[in-house]
Structure 1
Amino acid sequence: ASAAASLITLGSGGSSGREGPVVHLAAVIATKVNDLIDARGITARDLLGCAVAAAVSASFNAPIAGALFALEVVLRHFAVHAFAPIVIASAAGTVINRLQFGGVTEFTLERQGVLSFYVELPAFLILGLVCGAVAVILMRAIFWVDDTAERWRARWNIPPWLRPAAAGAILGVIALGFPQIIGVGYETTSLALTGKMLAHEAVVLAAVKVAAVAITMGGRMGGGVFSPSLMVGSLAGLAFGLIATSVFPDVSGSETLYALAGMGAVAAAVLGAPISTTLIVFELTGDWQTGLAVMVAVSTSTALASRLVDRSFFLTQLERRKVHLSKGPQAYLLCMFRVANVMRPPDHARAVPTDDVWEALEAGIFIDPNATLETAMPMFQDTARMWLPVVRIGDSGEAPKILGTLHHVDALQRYNKALAATAAEEHS
């Protein structure tokens, strides 16, 4: 259903990207395969990484970036056991792409960028900061439109299906004046990378594209954010380059090099994937001679953007859903264990006496069995207790039912085992 929604959105001119849906579809297929072969744990996650690597490689014709994207963004570690299968899957995806499309690069640069080394590098540091700010504006605009649209829908009881319809209508009106915002936007990105645009045109198109993407995503239409971030980044980089090269013509290279660096800088900040995004830019363009400029811009943009959002667009989405993946395993592992699965039942050999449990309950100290250790651990600290009653509260007038007790030592043991298993996987 998600793939179909993205297909309809992109086919009818929605302002989003194709790569996000491709990665999501690959992950869904991997999950189904894992269910069929009953794969769990490390094996299941490695197969998920293989599927994503193959999808990215087939979509971009970028085998190196596909493999590193799966490790950097999906698995979030570079364990040796995952490297070989993911690289093989990435190579397979690239072979399929080249059999179908001939192995051409997505963008063709008419002239190679010439970088005045050392003297011009500070300009790319500044470009990175600008692109980091642009990426944050893009991400926050999407979330703001999404929240605003949800409030309006709830207030006026608007049917859910009308939300993407209204977003599509608004996009159509915008496209009457700015047809470049329609679809993935690679044509406009190519114009920016070849310098066939004026500075004010690039600025205006970048601003309109941000609004269009926010409306598309906030309107719950399909698609991803990677391709839009490439377009916005190339436009922002071109505008910056045109200004920089006009102010300092004697020490500046080509303005298209700034467009290339800006494309990578915004995309890396949005994805939170500086390594794989840098390689994707190289493999999309085939220009390996300007790596230093792109790396400098990408590093500063991701450093800035990661401080203003929760690491990336996707991790911020998860944080908004109370999934704390951006804070590392020490945070999200607590959410994986329900109190009911860790507590001691009343008939446990070392159960707390019933009178003591009722005394704590009368003092207002208890926890729901469906809560997670994320809720329980602060309660242990705040109450300075070694155990908490686990109680199911009934309807009005119905007495609470004591299901057992959650002990601090049991919670810590379960948490420590999960941390150790995670560390073992990431370093295996």
Structure 2
Amino acid sequence: MKFWSESWQRLQLALPGLRKQLAFPQTSLQLCILGALGGLLAAILIILFRLAILALQSFYLDKFDDFATALPEVRWLLPFAGAFCIGLIALLTGYKHYRLGIPFVIHRIKTSYGMMPFRNTFNQFFGGVAALASGFSVGREGPSVHLGAYGASFVGKKLKLPYNSVRTLVGCGIAAGIAASFNTPLAAVIFVMEVVLREYRIHIFIPVMLAAVVGALVTRLVFGMERELAILQITTLPGWHFPYLILCGVLIGMVAFVFNTNMMRIIRTFKNWPLPIRLLLAAAITAAIGMLIPQAMGAETGAIQYAVEAPTDVQLLLALFIGKMVLTLVALGLGVPGGVVGPIFGIGIIFGTLLALVPGLLHGHSEHAGTYAVLGMAGLMAACLHAPLAALVAVMELASNPDIILPAMLVIATAYVTGVQFCHTKSLFLMQLDFMQLPYKVSPALDVLQKVGVLAQLDHRYHLLLQSDETSIRQALDQLAADELLLLKSEGEDGPVYQLVSYDVSLSVSDGSALRYLPVPLLTPQATMAEVYQLLETSREGAVCILDEDLGVPEPAGLVRWDQVQTLLVKENNLL
């Protein structure tokens, strides 16, 4: 107990220096260590999430995620039981906290530096467990991203780190969460940069990469080295397949358009329906289709298994493709908590296996079915989510075979161009954000300023004067150095009020220069230069006071002037 007490005291002493170091947008050992810590916490949350699903499914399934092994009466009741649990959790936490998954995380990163509310996360964890354990066609990566973001932001919140570093830590948590979910550390890093953060910065990339390593290593200690796609046999495709792959990419791009369009159509159609009714409808459809095509229930694992076992069974593959598509659209469109990447993997693999039937007829065998299955997955992910590089890297890692790279690049490029140029489809995540009216864009100026903490720009060139008469203020002004400001502190109804005082040189009066009082807004040390810009943008002058919250009574830690914002934008990015 004494050891932990002393360690905490040493940490408290080191925190001011740590916070100032993290306020700078640069790679540092401290940020890397914190990123790894955030990644570890995120990985633990994901492991608990996965173990909870495994534990529940072990009661009624002979094989994980294979709902065809469940008794018919159990399979019928499971979606209704899952919908009841999801609805109950949402009721207990409040329906306004039922914003979950990757789109919500993207919104929070852009508008709140990735700080994740606890109630939404509680909803995501237990609602996600209920959804995946009861056979809804949703993926585990949506909860993984949400939980990873919460785990890392929790570290930043408890240590009161600058918001610019919290944003980086959230990226670390997401990368660790995806790596812990799919055992794909490199794809996790690319997914964070391409889809979630939507930028590449070296000082962000390094800690995110380390967090992904931590997430993958911790997962392997619990679940081993196995990957879902390892059961697919990847073969080298002869050159004559490549013209056909272009056609495959076009078809996959069209499937992505159909998927995204119908997903948004369902969301819009049922947007005003109460959540319990939507969940009940999703459960009824899932139960009905599950009785006919039980292989289509659950995440992507079951669909992959059946695509491998019956690559030439056209009837089964078509039934799986249609059933999986409908179940996924219904579940996610009606608000069942879960991710879309897992089902996209399953749908893509089934569709790719179907596409392999054409060259299989010419060959007389199905040895390339596994290769086409993986290509279908990669193309559909790229076209649906607008994440071509993440799709390519995911395929490389999940397949563990370099022979897939060249055909995957061709299919991904073709599917993406088809979806964007000819079908005019947007990223599914951005379509959902637009529909929910959740902002996910900031101006170029704010984007730059969000990366610099106010502690990196603190200005101590000021003189603090307590509430005084005009004569004392003038005497203090006369004694100031040329580059100093006079900060006047007075007591207001709601606490201390700060003002900058100067001579108003624009006025000429008989008794001398008048005094000019300029209000000084207050910010915490966690703020970034973006908040300074927003407070001073209208007046384009003055300063913001940063209060030191570590003291018993908050006192000024320094000022941040408007001219520092100007310098940062003009000198570094030429944006103002």
Q: Report the TM-score when normalising by structure 2.
A: 0.54
Paired with 1:194 and 1:311, the residues of 2 have a C-alpha distance of: 34
Shift of the 315–252 alpha-carbon distance from structure 1 to 2, 3 Å rule, reads: same
How many Å apart are 1:273 and its aligned residue? Answer: 1.4
Q: Tell me how far apart the structure 2 counterparts of residues 278 and 264 of structure 1 sit (CA, whole Å).
A: 6
In the alignment, is the contact (CA less than 8 A) between 1:193 and 1:260 conserved in 2? no
Q: Which amino acid aligns with 2:251?
A: V
The question of 1:74 aligning with 2:196 is answered yes
- What displacement does 1:197 show? 4.2
Q: Counterpart in 2 of 1:146? A: 267
Q: AA paired with 1:111?
A: Q
Which structure 1 segments of 5+ residues have no match?
A: 154-158, 337-348, 350-404
Structure 2 Cα separation of the partners of residues 209 and 110 of structure 1: 19
The residue type paired with residue 198 of structure 1 is D
Evaluate the alpha carbon distance shift between residue 98 and residue 254 of structure 1 in structure 2; reply closer, same or farther with a 3 A threshold: same
1:136 paired with 2:257, answer yes
SS, match of residue 224 in structure 1: coil
Query: Identity rate of aligned residues, in percent?
Result: 28
**Post-superposition shift, 1:418?**
12
Preserved CA contact (<8 Å) 1:67 1:86: yes
In the TM superposition, residue 224 of structure 1 has moved relative to its aligned partner by 0.7
1:221 and 2:342 aligned: no
Q: Which amino acid aligns with 2:138?
A: S
Mapped to 2, the partners of 1:298 and 1:195 lie a distance apart of 25
Q: Does 1:267 align with 2:381?
A: yes
Question: Any conservation in 1 of the 2:138–2:340 contact (CA below 8 Å)?
Answer: yes
Q: Distance in 2 between matches of 1:17 and 1:418?
A: 46
The aligned length equals 344
For residues 419 and 76 of structure 1, the distance between their equivalents in structure 2, rounded to whole angstroms, comes to 22
1:296 corresponds to which residue?
410
Question: For residue 320 of structure 2, what is the aligned residue in structure 1?
Answer: 205
Residues 292-348 of structure 1 show CA distances to partners (whole Å, capped at 9, x for unaligned) of: 1111111221222234466411111112233464x7855997xx9xxxxxxxxxxxx
Task: Provide closer, same or farther for how the CA distance between residues 173 and 67 of structure 1 changes in structure 2, counting only shifts above 3 A.
Answer: same
TM-score normalised by length of structure 1: 0.72
Q: Structure 1 residues 310 and 168 mapped into 2: Cα distance closer, same or farther (>3 Å)?
A: same
Q: Distance in 2 between matches of 1:92 and 1:264?
A: 25
Deviation of 1:252 (Å): 10
Secondary structure of 2:270's aligned partner: helix
Q: Which amino acid aligns with 1:77?
A: E
Instruction: Tell whether the 8 Å contact from 2:303 to 2:320 is kept in structure 1 after alignment.
Output: no
Partner of 2:175: 53
Report the Cα offset of residue 150 of structure 1.
2.4
Tell me whether 1:258 sits opposite 2:258 in the alignment: no
Using a 3 Å threshold, how does the CA distance of structure 1 residues 47 and 406 change in structure 2: closer, same or farther?
closer
Distance 1:330 1:95, change over 3 A: same
Letter of the aligned partner of 2:373 in structure 1?
Answer: A
Separation of aligned partners in 2, 1:218 and 1:206:
18
CA distance in 2, matches of 1:138, 1:290: 25
Structure 2 CA distance, aligned partners of 1:278 and 1:251? 27
Q: Matched residues in 1 for 2:326 and 2:291: separation?
A: 15
Q: Which residue of 2 aligns with 1:156?
A: none
Q: Secondary structure at the match of 2:200?
A: coil
Query: What is the one-letter code of the residue matched to 2:244?
Result: A
Quick one: distance in 2 between partners of 1:142 and 1:200? 25
- Determine if the alignment matches structure 1 residue 96 to structure 2 residue 229: no
* TM-aligned CA distance change 1:48 to 1:176, over 3 Å: same
- Give SS of 1:55's match: helix
Q: Counterpart in 2 of 1:39?
A: 161
SS at match of 2:325: helix
SS at match of 1:132: helix
Tell me which of 278, 282, 286 is aligned to 2:392: 278
Alignment pair present for 1:22 and 2:150: no
**Do 2:296 and 2:324's aligned partners in 1 also have CA atoms closer than 8 Å?**
yes
Amino acid at match of 2:406: L
Encode CA deviations 1:178-235: one digit per residue, 9 max, x unaligned: 1112110312213324653423432332122111111101221111111110111111
Partner secondary structure for residue 150 of structure 1:
coil
- Give the Å deviation of 1:160: 2.7
Q: Hey, what's the Cα distance between the residues in 2 that align with 1:420 and 1:59?
A: 39
Does structure 1 residue 7 correspond to structure 2 residue 129? yes
> Residue 260 of structure 2 contacts residue 425 of structure 2 at CA under 8 Å; is this kept in 1?
no
2:242 to 106, 109, 121: 121
Q: Is the 8 A contact 2:177 2:215 kept in 1?
A: yes
SS of residue paired to 1:112: coil
Contact preservation (8 Å) 2:232, 2:399: no
Question: Is the deviation greater in 311-320 or in 91-100?
Answer: 311-320
Correspondences of 1:269-418 after superposition (within 5 Å) = 269-307=383-421, 308=423, 311-323=426-438, 325=440, 329=443
Q: Name the counterpart of 1:392.
A: none
Relative distance call for 1:332 and 1:180 in structure 2 (3 A) is farther
Give 2:207's match in structure 1, choosing from 85, 88, 94. Answer: 85
Select the structure that is richer in strand: 2
Alpha-carbon spacing, 1:213–1:417, altered in 2? closer, same or farther (3 Å): farther
Amino acid at match of 1:128: G
Q: CA deviation at 1:146?
A: 1.7
Letter in 2 for 1:171: T
Q: Give the stretch that moved more between structures: 200-209 or 18-27.
A: 200-209
C-alpha deviation, 1:98, in angstroms: 0.9
Determine the C-alpha separation between the residues in 2 that align with 1:194 and 1:113: 17
How many Å apart are 1:39 and its aligned residue?
A: 3.0
Q: Residue 101 of structure 2 corresponds to which residue in structure 1?
A: none
User: Which of residues 287, 291, 299 in structure 2 aligns to 1:172?
Assistant: 287
Aligned to 2:301: 186
**Contact 1:132 1:266 (8 Å CA) reproduced:** yes
Change (3 A) 1:284 1:162: same
- CA distance in structure 2 between the partners assigned to 1:290 and 1:218 by the alignment: 32
Greater gyration radius: 2
C-alpha separation in 1, matches of 2:306 and 2:264: 29
Alpha carbons 1:199, 1:238 under 8 Å: kept: no
After superposing on structure 2, the runs of 4+ consecutive aligned residues of structure 1 that deviate more than 6 Å are: 250-253, 405-408, 416-419
1:407/1:197 Cα in 2 relative to 1: closer, same or farther (>3 Å)? farther
1:145 & 1:418 partners in 2: Cα distance? Answer: 49
Give the 3-state SS of the residue equivalent to 2:323 in structure 1.
Answer: helix
Q: 1:93 to 1:241 in 2, by over 3 A?
A: same
Counterpart CA distance in 2 for 1:243 and 1:289 is 20
Alignment-mate amino acid for residue 375 of structure 2: A
My pick for the range that moved more, 164-173 or 196-205, is 196-205
Distance 1:192 1:329, change over 3 A: farther
